[in-house]
Structure 1
Amino acid sequence: MTRSDDPHANRPIGAAARGNGSYQPFAHLTTEHSALYRQVMGAFVRAKQEFTVHLRPEDVHLGLPADGRPPVESVATALERLARWGNLRADPDTGRVTALEDFYRSRYIYQLTREGEAAEEALAAYDEALGRRGELQAVALADIAVQLRALLALAGQPVPDPGVAHLALLALVDRFSGLAENARAFMSSLQRTVDLHDAEVEVFLAYKQRLIEYLERFIEDLVTRGAEIAGLLERLGTPHEGSAGPLLRLAAAREASDTAPDASAEALTAAEQRWYGRWEGLRAWFLSVPGRSSQAKLLRSAARQAVPQLLGVVQALNERRSGRSDRSADFRELARWFAEAPDDQARHRLWRSAFGLYSARHLTIDPEALAVRGADPVPASASWYDAPGVRISPQLRRTGSYERRGRARAVQDRGEAKAYLAELARKQAEQTAAARARLATDGEVRLSDLGELDPAAFRLFLRLLGDALSAWRPGTDTVAVTISDGTMEIRLTRLPGGAAAEIHTLDGVLHGPEHLVEITDLAADRESAGSPR
C-alpha cells in the first residue's frame, strides 16, 4: 500500500533539490535563527567525529548546549529546513515503526551531506583564520637553522637519500611558511594595538611591558639566528648555482614519481619550478641584495619602530590620566558647557567667546563712513535689513576685490639656486665616492693598518662596522655583510690573542679588539665592469 500524494513517502527530503542542483549550503547563515542552525550543524560535526552516522531530532536536541537549549520542536523545524537547503539528508525512520499510524507519521533520521560537511569545514577554516593571533616565532628560526644544517650535511654526501632530502625540505618549507604568515599577522595586530587609544588604561599598560619584552627578545633572536640562517643559505647557494639545486631536484623527482606516465615530464618540470620558487622565496626572506632589503631586515626594523610607538601611546595615556589638557578634552569640556547653558543667548555668547566668530561687519569702507559709524555706532546684533546702508567702492561691487591691481610680479629665476643644489649634490657624491675609495682594501688588512680616516670615511666605516657586528653570531670567527644600498661589502675576521687596534680620526682615536677586515667597493666594481673597453 502506497500513498502517491505524500512527497516524502518514497524519497528522502532534499532529493528534488539534489536533482536540479539548487543546493544552498550557506543559506542558514543569512536567515533568521542562524545561531540555532549553526548549533545543529555543530552537533552533526561532533557526531561524525565520534563515527555516528544518523541522528534523530531528540539526539540532536540532547547534543545542544544545556544553557539556553531550545525546545525539541524548534530543533525538528531547523532539521527540516537544513535538509531542504541540502546541508542534511533526511531518510524515513522505520526503526521505531510499531503500528500503521507510526508508518504514516513523518519520522526522519538525519545525516550530513557532502555539501553540508564541506560548508562546515569552510566555516571552521574561516573562524580559525579570524581568530588566529599572529606571533613572532623565535623557535621557528632555530628550527629553520637546524633544517638548513641538515640539508648542508646531505649536500655533502656523494649520493644523498631522496626521501631524507624530500622530508627535510618539506619540514623546512612548512616551518618557514608558518613563520612568515605569523609574522605578517603579528605585525598587523601590533599596529592595531598601537592605534588602540580607547582601550582601558590599566589593561593596556599591563600588556605593554610584556609586549615590549617580547619584541626585544625576538629582535635579539632575529639578529643572531637570522645571520646564521643567511650564512647557511649562502653556503647552499641558489637553485642553479650551488649545492641546493640537486636536493631540490631530488625532491621534485620524488613528488613527480606518482604521476601518470603520459604526464611525468610535465609534472617533473612543474615540481622543479615549484621548489625553485620556494627556495628563492626563502633566500629573499633572509638575504638582502643590492637595491632590496630582506624581509627579515624589514621585520626587524618594523619591530624596532613599534617599541617607541608603544611608548608614545603610553605617554599619551599617562597624560590623559594626569589630566593634562588636549584638544579632545577641551572639546568635550566645551560640549558640557553648551549642554549646561541656561538659554540660547548664553550659548551664542559662549560660541563667540570660544571661536571668535562674529557678525560680518568687515567690509572695506572709506574714512567718512567710518567717522559716521564712530559717532553713531551700529550694534553687531543689528539686522542687515534694519541697519543703515554702507557706501562701498564701485570696484568692489564690480570685481569683488577692492585692491588696485598693479603689474604682475616678475617670474623669479631659480636657475642659480638649482645650480647650487646640483653642485652640492655633485660634491656630496664625490665625497661619498672618495670615502668608499679610501676604505676599499686590497685583500685582508688589520684594523690598525687602515690609517687615519677623515670624517666622511670614518662615518662610512662606522656604518660598515655596525652592520658587520649586528650580523655576528656566536661560535663564528668571520662575518661578511653588504650595506643596505649595496655599494659596500665588509668581511670581518676575529684574530686570536686579544690584541688591540687603534683607528685615528680628526675627532679622536677609536679603540677596539684587533680584527682582519676586507672592504670592497661594489659600486666601483660595477662601474668598471659596465664601462666600454
Structure 2
Amino acid sequence: MDEKVLKPITEVSYLTAANVGRYRGILRYFYTQYERLHHYLFPEEVLSYLRQSMFFQDYTEEQLQQDLNQLVEWKNLIPRQDTTRVTSVEEFKKKKFRYQCTPYTVEIERMVQGLEEMGDSFGGSLERTLFDRLLNSLIKLLAYRSDSSHQHRKIYGVEDMSDEELYALWQELYDNFRKLTEGATDYLAHLQSEKVEEMMMTEAFLSYKDAVTDYLRNFMTALQHTSFRIENLLADAPDQLIQLITTRLADYELKIPRLDERPPKESLIERFFGQWQDLTTWFLGDESGESDLIYLQNVTNETIRRITRFAQRIGERHHILKSRRQDYLFLADWFARCDTLEEAHEISASVFGVFHTRHLFSGGKATEDIYAEIWDEEPTEVTIKPRVRRYREKTKPGAIKSLQQEKQQTLTAYLKEREAEQKLVAGIVQQNQIVLADLPLVDPYIRKTLLRWIGKSMTHQERMAKTETGRKFRLITVDDQEITLRAEDGNLVMPNFVIQFLE
C-alpha cells in the first residue's frame, strides 16, 4: 500500500469544521470564480458576495480574515501579496493579499458539486471536435420543416423522435457542452499556474512552444468557425419548443423504473430548463455581463501571447549569451588576406563603421519629404559661443517699469464686478432665505453660486455651510419633487431646495 493513502488530507477539513457554513460559502465562491477564469480574489470581493446572502448579513470583515487565514492553514487557499496597487512603503508593509484556491480545493469543490447535481467527471483539454459535435446536436434538436397542410405551421424534428431518442440527443448535447467548458477551463488554468509559468522560463520550453501554440490556435480556429452558427441557433430557438422538449424529457425521466423516491415533474423540468439556460448563457451571455465564450476567447488569445513573449525572451537571452568567437575568427581571416593597408581600412569601415566621426545637428527639418536632398534645403546659421569659463553674453540694463496704475485699475474693476455680483445674489434673498422654485430667470453667475453653495452644504452632516462673505446657511429639501432653475444660458432640473440663512 502506498504511503500517500495513509496520510490525512487536511484540505477536506473545512467540510466538517465547526464553522462549516462559512468555509463552504467562501470556497464555493472561489470555485465558481475559478470556473469563470477569475483565479485571484481580494477579500473585499468575497465579503461583498457573501453579504448578498441572508445567511451572512452580520458577517464582518474580521471574521472573513480569520476564516481566510484558517483556510490558508488547511491548504485550501494560496495567499499572494498584491503589489500592483501599492503607492507607499507603509502600504507594502501591511501586506495586502489576494487569494487563489489550490488544485485540491478545486477538485474537492467539483466533487461536492458533482454529488449535489449527480454530474460526471471532467477532462482538461481543448478538443476542437466538441464544437462540431455540439453544433450537429443543436441542428438535430432545433431542425424543422414547413407543414404542407398549414402553411404557417412548423413541424420540428423532435416531434418525429421518440422520447428515448430525444433523451439520448439531449444527453449527447449537454455532455459535449460540459466536456467543452470544463476541459477548456482546466487546461487554460493549467497553463496559467505558477509551476507551468516557471517551466516557460526555461530553455527546454522552446521545444514545446510551437506545439502548444498550434494546439491553442487550432482550438481558436474551430471555435470561430462554429461559434457564430451556434449563437444564431440558440438565439432563434422558440420558447415553445424548449418547453416541449423539457416536458418530454421530464416525462421520460419519470418513466425510468427507480426504487427510491422520484422527484416531482416540475423539478425535473426546471433542471432541464436550467441546463438549456446554462448553454445559452455560456454562448450568448446575459444582462449581467458578456458571455463565457468571450472570456474563453480572450483568455486563449492572452495565453498565446504570453507563451510567445516567454519564448521571445528566452530567445533574446540565448542570443545575448551566444559566443561570437567564430565570427571574429572569420573577420580576422578576412583582414589577414588583405594585400594593402588601404584595403584593410575599407573593410574596417564597412564592418565597424567610420572612426572619429562628428555628428552635427541644427534646427529641425524644413520638409517631411523623404526624397528631398539635403543640398536642396536652405542652410542654417549657427552662432558658436566661445568655450571659455568666464564668457558671459552682453546684456543691456533695462529700466524697471512701475505697474502700480495697471494693478490699481485691475483691482478696482475686480471689486466692482464682485460688488455687482453680490447685489445680484442679494436681490434673490426673500425673508432671509432663497426659494429656488420661486426664482425668475437668473444670471449664469447666480446659478453657479447657488450650485457651489449646495455642494458645500452637501459635505456637512447637517447640510450647513458658509458663503464667500461669511454668512452661515442651511440647505433644506422641501419635498421629493423636481424643479427647473431657469438661466440665460439654459435650464437645470434639480431637487426642490431652499437655502435658509441662519443669522
TM tier, smaller: 0.3 to 0.5
TM (normalized to structure 1)? Answer: 0.34
